[in-house]
Chains A and B, each alone.
Chain A
Amino acid sequence: MNAQRLRNALVDTLLVGTVVLLLLFFYAPIATLVAFSFTSSRVLTLPIESFSLAWYGELFSKPDFLPAVRNSAVVAAVSTLFATVLGTAGAVAWIRYRFRMQAAFRALTFAPLLFPQLLLGVVMLLWFSVLGSWLGFSNGLFTVIIGHVVYITPFALVVVAVQVYGFDETLEDAARDAGANGWQVFREVTFPLLWPGIFSAAIFAFLLSWGNFYISYSLAGTARTLPIFVYSGIAVGSSPIYPALATLNLVPALLLVVTAEFLRRRALKRQSSGNLAS
């Protein structure tokens, strides 16, 4: 019996150890980059002799990266809006409705998820190039936005679909019985219940778009987003301003995740106190 317990303890340790190692693996490059952004030295090797904000100063003294930040923000904001709205509508159609050609609709809206981003980018690049030569436009931010919407909407759809799947539709019936019309049911019952899923989908969408390299790289033409700017920088040679820039790139994502977690906790708390009151 003791041997059995020992073995169980060993299995537990191994399993928990895998997760710990995996987290270390995930955060090793991110932590390295952040650490090197604070070095005072010109070479990016250990040991870091002293810490300074010199490279952040250097970065802001020559702010040629700001247009890239603006482009990234515009692309992420617009694609998040479209991907979340389209993904939410799609998720409801996926899970709650049954209609002719639903299988085709599901395949069509899920397929981009099975495409490597580079291929998705190339396929759309070909189409926009042909279209552009017919209609007389060249690729720019709007083609990047279209590309991001195609790539990100399936992710948003899956995230919302999980929420729709756990949806209690008797609440809608109750609202209808109480005399609410279709729009009121949607606004007062359906939307609030789906909101957590929609909110996570929007965060997912924003971060996927903000950090996207492959599709932007294929479709941006001469425009630059932040990941493209960093990519061209590391291709040229690893100047210490790039770890600083990359660290700044993390900040909006971090703020967003922290805010989301805060809101989620508050909603949970409110929900449980609401249950107590009833």
Chain B
Amino acid sequence: MKIEDKYWRDPVLLAAVAPLAVVMIAFFLVPLVMTAVLTFQTTQYYRLSWSWDLKIWTEVFSKPHYWTIMVRTVVMALVCVAICIAIAFPAAYALATRLKTFKTQIQILIIFAFLTDAVLKTFGWILILDKNGVANWLLMHIGFPADALNLLFTPAGTMIGMVYNLVAYPMFTIYLSLVRIDRDLVLAAYDAGASRLRTFFEVTLPLSRPGLYSGAVLVFVLSLGAFLEPKVLGGGTAPLASELIRQSFETRVNWPLGAALTMVLIVIGALMLALSSAFALRRRSAPGRPA
């Protein structure tokens, strides 16, 4: 790969970079700053007033109600990460090392399911998890009592939906880091007499760590914003942060409050991102530990 040095006065570089940079600054960066600015305003009679004070932040920090929901959101996100990694790793490993013949077909099937409308898939889950739904019907026919499962409108229902919608992300990242592993390293370990199990734990697993970390972080930050799942599958019984944010916009028409709660989630996500990249870097530079 040849990399060209470019200068900002080069029209080719400007043409490649400027349009995208302008779009992202105008519609992503500036809105983020605006959100932060809005948290210092207040509303009066459902209208925004530019007051520049800390009223909203004192409200956010003084109401335990918000923090119960924030903590629940973070706990759900962590559980979701654990389940997603537990499913995604063996699946990605199988896809990278076994299943040579049907690999492309399986990849297309996974990508197609991933890209299908989330509302539609969530709707499908309602029909499966409902008390008279497909899951209970199947269970009844293999001998379980009627209504064996009661998952719709519970946190477990929410979790199924969240895992369903997010598990593809760590599959992609782990798969990409697994296929990049030099096959010779694995063969060298075998030559040196290591068993398959030992080779897996001492060569393959450490080398797939970038994919593991990035997949886990992606699932965590994305599940902070889960909205359809708690609402439609959880039935609103255990609302997550997204529901708070939606209510402050739609029901209470309190933009500064919604903005502040959004900032709280963004900060939690950013902290987790910083934490995991610091952890990954420390691991890489730890003495006596290659890779």
Contact A210 B117, CB 8 Å, known A18-B90, A93-B13, A234-B123: yes
Contact A230 B93, CB 8 Å, known A33-B124, A169-B2: no
Name the B residues within 8 Å of A129 (CB-CB): 255
A242 near B: Cβ within 8 Å?
yes
Count A-side interface residues using an 8 Å CB cutoff: 87
Among the stretches A8-16, A54-62, A191-199, A269-277, the one at the interface with B is A8-16
Name the B residues within 8 Å of A254 (CB-CB): 112
Interface hits, B85-139 → A, CB 8 Å: 87, 90-91, 93-95, 97-99, 106, 108-113, 115-128, 130, 132-134, 137
Interface hits, A233-251 → B, CB 8 Å: 234, 238, 242-243, 246, 249-250
| Contact flags A217-228 to B (C-beta < 8 A → 1, else 0) | 000000000110
List 28 A–B pairs whose Cβ atoms lie within 8 Å, in order of A's numbering.
A16-B94, A18-B91, A19-B91, A26-B109, A27-B113, A28-B128, A45-B130, A90-B17, A92-B16, A97-B4, A97-B16, A99-B5, A99-B6, A108-B29, A119-B224, A123-B28, A124-B31, A125-B249, A126-B35, A126-B258, A211-B116, A212-B117, A213-B228, A227-B118, A227-B119, A231-B119, A234-B232, A257-B112
Query: Are B228 and A97 interface neighbours, CB within 8 A?
Result: no
Contact A230 B119, CB 8 Å, known A15-B98, A130-B34: yes
Name the A residues within 8 Å of B121 (CB-CB): 29-30
Query: Are A253 and B31 interface neighbours, CB within 8 A?
Result: no
Name the B residues within 8 Å of A14 (CB-CB): 90
Partner of B8, one of A86, A99, A227: A99
B25 near A: Cβ within 8 Å?
yes
The SS class assigned to the B binding surface is: helix
Query: Are A12 and B98 interface neighbours, CB within 8 A?
Result: yes
Query: Are A30 and B17 interface neighbours, CB within 8 A?
Result: no
Query: Are A246 and B120 interface neighbours, CB within 8 A?
Result: yes
In the assembled complex, the CB of A261 is this many whole angstroms from the nearest CB of chain B, namely 6
In the assembled complex, the CB of A114 is this many whole angstroms from the nearest CB of chain B, namely 5
A127 to B26, CA, bound (A): 10
A33 to B133, CA, bound (A): 12
Q: Across the A-B interface, how many residue pairs have beta carbons closer than 8 Å?
A: 263
A31 to B137, CA, bound (A): 15
B24 near A: Cβ within 8 Å?
yes
Q: Output the residue of A33, A112, A117, A204 with the most chain B CB within 10 A.
A: A33
Name the B residues within 8 Å of A111 (CB-CB): 24, 28
Partner of B128, one of A29, A126, A261: A29
Name the B residues within 8 Å of A125 (CB-CB): 249
A84 to B88, CA, bound (A): 28
Q: Output the residue of B24, B106, B113, B221 with the most chain A CB within 10 A.
A: B24
In the assembled complex, the CB of B116 is this many whole angstroms from the nearest CB of chain A, namely 6
Name the B residues within 8 Å of A212 (CB-CB): 117
| CB-CB nearest in chain B for A162 | B176
Name the B residues within 8 Å of A147 (CB-CB): 27
B142 near A: Cβ within 8 Å?
no
B38 near A: Cβ within 8 Å?
yes
B266 near A: Cβ within 8 Å?
yes
Query: Are A116 and B226 interface neighbours, CB within 8 A?
Result: yes
Contact A86 B23, CB 8 Å, known A30-B113, A119-B262, A242-B123: yes
Query: Are B221 and A118 interface neighbours, CB within 8 A?
Result: no
Contact A227 B24, CB 8 Å, known A119-B265, A126-B35, A165-B1: no
B81 near A: Cβ within 8 Å?
no
| CB-CB nearest in chain B for A170 | B2
Name the A residues within 8 Å of B265 (CB-CB): 116, 119
